[in-house]
Structure formats: C-alpha cells, structure tokens
Amino acid sequence: MKIKNHYKLIIQILFFISIFNTLYSKNFDKSYDEDSVSNYFSGILALNNNDYKTSYKYLKQLEGLEDNHYNFSSYYEYSLVNEKRFKEAFLYSKKIEKKNIGNFESNIIISTYYLKNKKYDQSRKYFAKAEGNFELNSLQKLTSGIPNNWLSLINLNEKDGIRLINKIPDKFKNIKRIQNALAHCFYNSKKTNLVFKKLTSGDDIDFSRYNFFHANYLYKIKEEEKASKIIDDSLEFSPRNLILNQFKQDMFSKNGEKSANQFDCRNSSDLIAEIFYIAANALSSQEKYIESNFYINLAKYLNPNFTSYEILYAENLFALKEYKKAKKTLSTIKNKGKFYNWFAVKQIVSILNQEQKKDELLILLNRSYKELNEPTIYETYDYANALRSHKKFRESVNFYTKVYNVIDKNHHLYPNVTEGRGIAYEQLQDWPKAEKDLVSSIDALPDQAYVLNYLAYSWIEQGVKINKSLEMLKKANELKKNDGYIIDSLGWALFKLKKYKEAKEYLQLAVRIMPSDPIVNDHFADSLWMNNKPVQARYFWNYALSLEKTDEKLKKIINQKLLEGLKKKS
C-alpha cells in the first residue's frame, strides 16, 4: 500500500511539473497570487482524480484565467458538466465565446443547451462550429458532425435525410449502420423494420441492444405483437439482456409508455443523446472517465428517462471507486423495474464488499432476493453465486440445486451451475459431490480454463490423477496465457511429479506475476529447496510468513520447513 501511495505521489508531482511548464509557456499572468496558483493546481488535481465537486470549487474562483491559459476553460467546463451544472456551463461557454476563445467543449455545451430548449437552428449552428473550427479526433468529429446532420433532417425529405446520415465515413461502419436504422425510424420509413432486422441479425458484432430500439419503434406504432416477438427472439440468444428484459416486463404490465427506457426516434434530443452515449461508452472502455462522464451527463441531460445511461454512469463511478455516488445512482436505478432492481442490488452488494461491510451486504442480498416476485433461474443463480462468494457454502448449494433441477445438460447455464456448486461442495469438504459436479461442468463445456485449473489442482493436492491433471493444466495454460494461478498449478503438478527443475521455472514465473500470494511463494520456495538452493528457499518461506494473507495453517507448515527443510522422496 505504501509503495502504491508513493507511486501516486510521483505521478502527481510529474503532473504538477507538466501543468507548471504549460502555464509559463503560455505566459501565465504574473499578477496571480500564490493562492490562485494553489487553487488552480488543487482544481486540476481534483479533476484528474474525478472529484468534480472539489475541482469546481477551486476552479470557479479563477474565472478569467482562460484569458491567459487556454486550457483552463476546458478543465472548468468538464467540472461544470460532470457536476450537472448545465445552465452555469452554458453561461460560461457563452462568456468565453464573446472573448473569441471558445473551444470544442464550449460549443458542444451551447449546442446541447439550445437543443434541450428546442432552439434547433441555434443548436445546429453550434454543432457546426464545433465540427468545423477545431482540430478534432475521430470521436469529436462524430459527436459534433452526426448531431449536426440529425438537426438538418428536420428540413429534409426522407430520401435526402437518409442520404445525409449515410455520409458518415465507412471507417465508422458500425455507427453508420446504427444511424441508418434510426434515420429510417425517424421518417417512419416503410423499410424501417427491414433495416433494423438487417442491423441486428449480423454475426460480426453484437447489436442486440438495438433490438430494444426496434421493438420500441414497433410498440409506438401500435405493433405490440411484433414488438413482443422481436424481444422474445432476441432474448433466446441474449437471455440476460437487461434493457430487453425490463422492456418486456414494461410491455407485459401495459406500462410501455412509461418504460424504464423512454426513447422516441423522431425526437432530436433522444437521437443525439444516444450519440453521446456511444461516445461515453467508447471512452469508458478506454478508462477515460472524465471525458466519458462529460458525454454521459450530456446524454442524461437530453434524455433523463433512459435508465441505460444511468447504468453506464454508475459503472464509471464504481471503476473510479466513487462508491457513495455510485450507490446513490444505483438507488435511483432500483426503482425502475424488477430487472433493474436486481441489477442495482448486485452492484450495491459489490460496493459493500469493497467497503468490507459484509453483514450489511448479506442483509441486503437476502432481503432483496426474498422480495423478488417469482425469481428467474438467472436471479437464483446470481444469488447462489453471491452466497458462495461470501462463504455461505451450504446455502449456495441449495440455490444452485434449485437451478440445476429445472435445466438440462444442454442449457447454457449448466456448466456454470455445476462449477459453482462443485466449488461450494469442495469448500464443504464433500469431495465426491464436488468432483462429480466439476467433471460435469468440463464435460458440458471443455474449454473452461479456470474449472480445469480448479479440478486439476484439487486432484494434485490429494495426490491423485497427477499426470491427467498436468495435461489439463497445460490446456488451461494455453487457454489463459500468463495467468498466475494456472501457472502456479502447472508448476506444482510438475513438482509433484518430481520434475523439480522444470517446476521451478513455472513457479518462478508465477511468483513474478503474483508476488504477494503466500501459496505461490511457498510453492516456489519448495522448488528452490529441491533444486539445492536452501538459502533462497528460506528467503521465500520467510517472505511468505510476512504476508498479510498467510493464514495460520500455512504459517505452521512453513515454520516446520524452516526448521527441518524438505526431504526428497525416492
């Protein structure tokens, strides 16, 4: 932990130096006092740490700094939007426009604000400025160019409008396909149904999300049966698709008009919100959370009734370890329907686990499952997994068995259920049942690296089927390259087969990958001893003893080795 904190401090110092050099390369106004410089650094550091409330507090005190430091306005605008201060962001963006120092972000903010207030000509004007006046990366070109095109459709006929949308460069072919389908929907084209089917039926990429937009379109034109079939067909291939499951429930309860995800493909705000969501999702996958949250908050501003946007925002907050904010967002999601409720509960349980609030999470988990009205096999499977991960092994076996009893061997959940139950049985020291389930899981789905590893390692520890285990571990190692647990198991199998030199090579690699794992260090020390390196072996045994994760049982075994060493068996 101390090493990590020191590393973070070094990064922050380098960050300060970079900003300092930038400031003075831009002739930072010498009239700014020490407090102003301190506020600036504090604001930028808070923004870099995704603490938008703090960054806003410090940067607000420095309005006017944009006159001498161009980048200040972008930093401040990110803080404003990510703090959901949209009116304030709009007014600031207009202010810097008057100074002729507007930037890409300011034009996007102004455009979005005008769009929200249905001033479409003004909105289009600023999207065009954002697209044409700055050096842009690919994502910025999309988030300015496509909205500009959508606002043009208001004054174009169907043929010209769809042609305009299809001018998106071919290198963005997937986005182009999505926009083409939505454009047909916008015009209520006779080809809309066909275009959506073509979009979602391809094997090259998963477009299952857009089955919702297809079904939603059909529902709005009173084609409820067709909408229901689209959802049912899609759920056969993606049974856990959250947006589709919730929409199906909303339709079934005759609540489609008040669905958890409200979207109108004839509404420019909804269409452009979806563009911002695509950008936010792409940035999130690259761990660019400041920019991702900028776009997702703009999407939420334009369409506050689309729960899918809240989910991405909650996921970003979780990744940033902003647990309090994430729980607040998830609490909102919980109220959006049965499927969103269970999703939110699972995420809150994960947060409570990170916060080491085990008693609280178990209470929430148990209460929420009991409150489910006729839980699905997937919810029961989730519940069993959660119980097992929190060492409620006996209870987890009962719920895995509930799922096991209603599925057959061809069901896609079968290998997961037998794996989970097998691990729970093993933890309960009921090896015959554990072995049976783990073998069944592999028989149903042979290329499961971690199940192969778990079963093989269990056999090795029992001193049985070691040659077979070795072959399984070689396969697992091919399936999952550079996985420390699998490499450790592979080395340990070789050790048990008395191939000490070869074992040492694998176990040394495992230690490099997992230097803080006590079992891996113990195994490596054993291999060193058997390779006539007693001094090095004792070093790693002592190191294993010093690790926080080393349990009392292992400590006792290691202390015995330090006294007596290992004996080579003939």
Give domain limits for the chain.
Answer: 1-102
> Is the CB of residue 104 less than 8 Å from the CB of residue 134?
yes
**Can you say how many angstroms the Cα of residue 392 is from the centroid of all Cα atoms in its chain?**
27
E strands along 35-118, which residues? none
pTM for the structure as a whole: 0.86
Share of the chain above pLDDT 90, in %: 82
Model confidence at 27: pLDDT above 50: no
For residue 436, the model assigns a pLDDT of 98
**Mean pLDDT within 30-34:** 57
For residue 255, the model assigns a pLDDT of 58
- Let me know the angle formed at the C-alpha of 384 by 382 and 388, rounded to the nearest 5 degrees: 115
- Average pLDDT, rounded, for the chain: 91
**Mean pLDDT within 365-386:** 96
For residue 33, name the pLDDT band (cuts at 50, 70, 90): low
**Mean pLDDT within 34-47:** 86
Model confidence at 106: pLDDT above 70: yes
**Mean pLDDT within 207-235:** 94
Question: For residues 535, 539, 544 and 547, what is the CA-based torsion angle, rounded to 10 degrees?
Answer: 170
DSSP 134: S
Query: For residues 533 and 26, which has the higher predicted lDDT (pLDDT)?
Result: 533
Query: For residues 451 and 22, which has the higher predicted lDDT (pLDDT)?
Result: 451
Which tokens belong to 30? 């010498």
For residue 68, the model assigns a pLDDT of 82
Share of the chain above pLDDT 70, in %: 93
Direct distance between the N- and C-terminal alpha carbons of the chain, in angstroms, rounded to an integer: 44
Model confidence at 227: pLDDT above 90: yes
**Mean pLDDT within 554-570:** 85
Distance, CA of 346 to CA of 384 (rounded, Å): 12
**Can you say how many angstroms the Cα of residue 103 is from the centroid of all Cα atoms in its chain?**
30
For residue 2, the model assigns a pLDDT of 36
> Is the CB of residue 336 less than 8 Å from the CB of residue 308?
no
Residue 481 identity (one-letter amino acid) = K
pLDDT digit string, tens, across residues 133-178 = 888 999 999 999 999 999 999 899 999 999 999 999 888 899 999 9
Question: Is residue 306 helix, strand or coil?
Answer: strand
DSSP 303: -
> Is the CB of residue 195 less than 8 Å from the CB of residue 244?
no
Half-sphere exposure of 114 (CA within 13 A, CB side): 20
pLDDT digit string, tens, across residues 331-373 = 999 999 999 999 999 999 999 999 999 999 999 999 999 999 8
Distance, CA of 241 to CA of 473 (rounded, Å): 33
DSSP 160: H
DSSP 534: H
pLDDT digit string, tens, across residues 272-294 = 999 999 999 999 999 999 999 99
Distance, CA of 212 to CA of 541 (rounded, Å): 57
Question: What residues have CB less than 8 Å from 435, skipping those under 6 apart?
Answer: 422, 455, 458
3-state SS record for 456-524: HHHHHHHCCCHHHHHHHHHHHHHHCCCCHHHHHHHHHHHHHCCCHHHHHHHHHHHHHHCCCCHHHHHHH
For residue 569, the model assigns a pLDDT of 52
Closest of 242, 209, 211, 231 to residue 345, by C-alpha: 242
Question: What residues have CB less than 8 Å from 231, skipping those under 6 apart?
Answer: 211, 212, 215, 244, 247, 248, 251
> Is the CB of residue 302 less than 8 Å from the CB of residue 328?
no
For residue 75, the model assigns a pLDDT of 94
* H/E segment holding residue 191: none
For residue 133, the model assigns a pLDDT of 81
For residue 414, the model assigns a pLDDT of 98
For residue 14, the model assigns a pLDDT of 46
Lowest average pLDDT, out of 28-32, 88-92, 203-207, 253-257, goes to 28-32
Please report the DSSP string for 4-46 in residue order.
HHHHHHHHHHHHHHHHHHHHHHTT--TTS-HHHHHHHHHHHHH
For residue 257, name the pLDDT band (cuts at 50, 70, 90): low
For residue 377, name the pLDDT band (cuts at 50, 70, 90): very high
Which tokens belong to 193? 């149904």
Model confidence at 23: pLDDT above 60: no
Model confidence at 36: pLDDT above 50: yes
> Is the CB of residue 367 less than 8 Å from the CB of residue 345?
no
* H/E segment holding residue 304: none
For residue 256, name the pLDDT band (cuts at 50, 70, 90): low
> Is the CB of residue 133 less than 8 Å from the CB of residue 141?
no
DSSP 167: T
**Mean pLDDT within 389-409:** 97
Distance, CA of 15 to CA of 503 (rounded, Å): 44
> Is the CB of residue 262 less than 8 Å from the CB of residue 243?
no
Question: What residues have CB less than 8 Å from 30, skipping those under 6 apart?
Answer: none
For residue 254, the model assigns a pLDDT of 64
Phi, psi of 48 (to 5 degrees): -60, -30
Which tokens belong to 456? 């093989």
Model confidence at 510: pLDDT above 80: yes
Lowest average pLDDT, out of 35-49, 152-166, 228-242, goes to 35-49
For residue 7, the model assigns a pLDDT of 45
**Mean pLDDT within 39-60:** 91
For residue 526, name the pLDDT band (cuts at 50, 70, 90): very high
Query: For residues 132 and 521, which has the higher predicted lDDT (pLDDT)?
Result: 521
> Is the CB of residue 235 less than 8 Å from the CB of residue 245?
yes
Q: How many CB atoms lie within 10 A of CB 408?
A: 7
Integer angstrom CA distances of residue 73 from 62, 212, 277: 10, 38, 23
For residue 3, name the pLDDT band (cuts at 50, 70, 90): very low
- Let me know the angle formed at the C-alpha of 150 by 169 and 289, rounded to the nearest 5 degrees: 70
> Is the CB of residue 58 less than 8 Å from the CB of residue 39?
yes
**Mean pLDDT within 360-388:** 96
